[in-house]
Amino acid sequence: MSGGFQFFDIIIFGLIAVFIILRLRGVLGRRTGHERPNDQDMFSRDQTPPDSHHDRKSTGEVVQMPDRSAQREPDDDFEPAEPAGDDMETASKTERTGIKAGITLIRVADPDFSPRDFVEGAKSAFEMIVEAFAEGDTPTLRPLLGDDVYDEFSAAIRERMAAGNTAETTIISVDDANIVGADIRGSTARVTVKFVSQQVNVTRDADENVIGGHPEKVVRITDIWTFARNTRSNNLNWMLVETRAE
């Protein structure tokens, strides 16, 4: 009889162990390529990007990367774009070598990192952030921005609203989006992207008078943004941590 109880106890303990393992997996998560997207995941690797900025906002999904589980070309041969401007050829080669070295270090820390996929996600993030800033949509901006950048953006939005002004931004196209910097500091990966876009920007006062920009003028704008992510975190979200314009 005692042997039967011992056998029963073994079964009970075994079921408890399985339950605990399943709970831990549910809490910690595993990168299998089929995870549920994080609502604040800026560069989710799991699903096809939504069709529009409106769709991304209305569904609660932030910016999503192409499906990592789908067949795609390997990017081991990824080559950074040539630096623009009057740089010497040797300087260009040095910069490109530095970028490739930085990408290699990031991929050591995060084997799932794909520079090609990152650029596609960054383009979607760029459009969402630019449009959300113009609309004064701080709830959309909050999960996409690092603390310092969010404070700057939200302060500018508050100042604009206090003055009774409104801003309108229409992104006609993103002509270029290239990685121009990559490194890792401790466990934090940082990737800098240069965006060249065609935009229509206009600012109006409370009486709808145009006080900045032009509603029918397309301007070419170059922005350089740096995104960062803790590679040791289960949160795959890359946040915008630095911005500057050329």
CA–CA separation, 107 vs 20, rounded Å?
A: 32
Q: Give the C-alpha separation, 226 to 70, whole Å.
A: 28
Packed helices 115-135 and 147-162: angle between N→C axes, nearest 10 degrees: 30
Under the banding of pLDDT at 50, 70 and 90, the label for residue 74 is low
The string of pLDDT tens digits covering residues 3-29 is 555 655 555 555 555 444 444 343 333
Q: Check pLDDT > 80 for residue 68.
A: no
Mean pLDDT, rounded, for 217-226 = 97
Residue 89 to residues 85, 100, 202: CA-CA distances in angstroms? 11, 17, 39
- pLDDT tens-digit profile of 101-153? 999 999 999 999 999 999 999 999 999 999 999 999 999 999 999 999 999 99
- The 10 Å Cβ neighbour count of residue 183 is 17
What are the structural domains of the chain?
88-246 (3.10.450.240)
Q: Are 43 and 237 in contact (CB under 8 A)?
A: yes
Nearest-CA neighbor of 141 among 213, 220, 53, 73? 53
Residue 82, pLDDT score: 56
6 Cα distance to chain centroid: 54
